[in-house]
Structure 1
């Protein structure tokens, strides 16, 4: 059976990510299947709405297939992964610009690449079961799939907090951060999907949307904004430890378990994303960063520790924030020449970043 199930029901076309045992992790073939379906449906007058869901009970999508990235880097230097990201990021941009309503059912776990195929959509539905995150710093990587674009738009420094810590958020916090538009109880999702077959999206939503359960971030805005406004990761950690709120101390302790290089590159990427403007420019930047990560030690080590050996004890290199130099960070943003993603046109990423 296909890893992406396609069907139409009335006026709606449906994409179902269908790898439930792998929590619907995205493969290159799945990305291509989604892109092909979107092209066909864009030109089909019978299709008025596209709906994306995940098979199984656990969630929409846990992200990209990072085990395959580990194997590719070890066997072939990461060429296959770079091609996967090229198509995936182009798909993320395509979703953001799709001319028909694109309804993402963000029920359960939605992380990494799962955010990329949902949070760029025009209608994003969270539920009380939603657990949304960009957890890349924990595997020696950096938020991608337009994640730095989305998080840079969040109020204050909430996006910086989420990008650096990889914290999971629920429906209310997703609404606050601009990662979701509506909350629909999970037990009403099937009825909502049925209504989308017969009615325009906002008519179908009427009667299903409910207030989200109380979130966490709003009551922590004071220390999040104050601490994460710092210019360096070291200063962010210092402020968090000095603040006095137990949640701030916990955030600092979380940061100190992440890849030091990933933290510094993520902070730089977030700050640059705020200045870059359109999503396409940010995706071009993310592609440079992602390709650079393939040649750095922490991505393979992070995947090893979390997924391959599962010892949860990564040996980061460099091991401390102090050892990561500005030059180390700058290398992640170096132009790729002929290998640029090029969504925003020739050589616009660096110029716009400064």
Structure 2
């Protein structure tokens, strides 16, 4: 969706307004709008301005370019900063996670447009929004187990609240899902054809300044298309059956007993992921189910980032995916049976610094 003349705009985040609609657009299209610390701060400042402005009814958040809304956080910065012992990774996660929590409780309607690639930090900017529109181009994922990390930005809340074991499947495999499956899993609310987005934006901009969440929802619902899950509709029973266990070994064993191509692929994909990340992710997801709210999950994720910076898989995963791009990470430990309870428990140690309260 084009609201700005990006040819003359150098900022990483563009802001403006159309009628009573506040506009925020991520503007790093060359790298699919990957988030920097400066972008996190700019989004937070824009939300401040729109929240205080009585003439703004709602906020709409989009991404520039054709490839996607947001591919995630600035992984290269985290890699380099972590290796150098810089405070920048911790600062980035601290401010990003606080922004994720703010989005979850933002008082005005926060409308997000999920188009194309939406991963990691992009899910943090979209998944907690009050009004989440996915277009037919959406490819949403939390692929962190593939880079020696774990789903963060509050995703352990979203994934653990997904129906059945859909969130467990998404979190462990990191496989991308389309718009209708994202809706089925609770990561989006409406399917809207790309061609109709300008119509929605115009209608939202014409709402009175006193309009509320229900008014915004009614505008979007008028143009939304029916959203029937595809992959999840076909494989829901298998996913619920195989991913219900509380150990990675049991999940893999259950998948091995299935005869479908879907199960074979899911198992093969998991076996390429970091064994440590798989076990930490499953533990985070199970703890997420008993958490009272988003902030509790973000607090737990933030504490776990302290350990991730000391974990070799984090650097090896980013090296293989982003730095050298050989797609051939050498995990350490290399096998699930070598990842003992003490290794996993280290990610759940109590941290002195807290995000909230």
Which bracket does the TM-score occupy, shorter chain normalised? over 0.9
Q: Is the 8 A contact 2:184 2:229 kept in 1?
A: no
Residue 134 of structure 1, CA deviation: 0.4
Tell me which of 332, 343, 352 is aligned to 1:317: 332
Contact 1:142 1:266 in 2 (8 A): yes
| Partner deviation per Cα, 1:162-211 (whole Å, 9 max, x = no partner) | 00000111111111111111010011112211221103423432431112
CA distances 1:136-177 after superposition (whole Å, capped 9, x unpaired): 000000000000100101111110000000011111111111
- Length, aligned pairs only: 341
Contact 2:168 2:285 in 1 (8 A): yes
Question: Is the CA contact 2:190–2:221 (under 8 Å) kept in the aligned structure 1?
Answer: no
CA contact (8 A) 1:63 1:113 kept: yes
Mapping of residues 33-182 of structure 1, within 5 Å: 33-75=42-84, 77-182=85-190
SS at match of 1:180: coil
Instruction: State the shift of 1:291 in Å.
Output: 2.0
Alpha-carbon deviation of 1:74? 1.7
Q: What is the rounded CA distance, in whole Å, between the counterparts of 1:88 and 1:331 in structure 2?
A: 23
Following TM superposition, by how much is the alpha carbon of 1:223 offset from its aligned partner in structure 2, in angstroms?
1.2
| 1:332 to 2:347 alignment | yes
Q: Is the 8 A contact 2:26 2:63 kept in 1?
A: yes
Contact 2:303 2:350 (C-alpha < 8 Å) held by counterparts: yes
Deviations 1:21-46 (A, max 9, x none): 01000000000011111111111101
The answer to whether the Cα contact below 8 Å between 2:131 and 2:217 also exists between their aligned partners in 1 is no
Give the secondary-structure state (helix, strand or coil) at the position aligned to 1:124: strand
Q: Distance in 1 between matches of 2:163 and 2:217?
A: 26
- Counterpart in 2 of 1:352? none
TM-score (norm 2): 0.94
Cα distance in 1 for residues equivalent to 2:201 and 2:264:
42
3-state SS in 1 of match to 2:140: strand
The more displaced of 242-251 and 314-323 is 242-251
Deviations 1:59-90 (A, max 9, x none): 11000010111111122x25210110000000
**Using the alignment, how far apart are the partners of 1:258 and 1:336 within structure 2?**
27
Does the 8 Å CA contact 1:128/1:212 hold for their aligned counterparts? no
Deviation >6 Å, runs of 4+: none
5+ residue gaps, structure 1, are 346-354
Residue 221 of structure 1 deviates from its aligned partner by 1.1
Residue 34 of structure 2 contacts residue 70 of structure 2 at CA under 8 Å; is this kept in 1? Answer: yes
User: What residue number does 2:263 align with?
Assistant: 248
Cα offset, 1:296, TM superposition: 0.6
- 1:2, CA displacement in angstroms? 0.6
1:16 and 2:30 aligned? no
Of the structure 1 ranges 168-177 and 257-266, higher mean CA displacement relative to structure 2 is found in: 168-177
Whole-angstrom CA distance in 2 between matches of 1:226 and 1:234 = 14
Alpha-carbon RMSD: 1.1
SS across alignment from 1:38: helix
- CA offsets per residue over residues 5-32 of structure 1, 9 Å max, x none? 0001101000000000010000000000
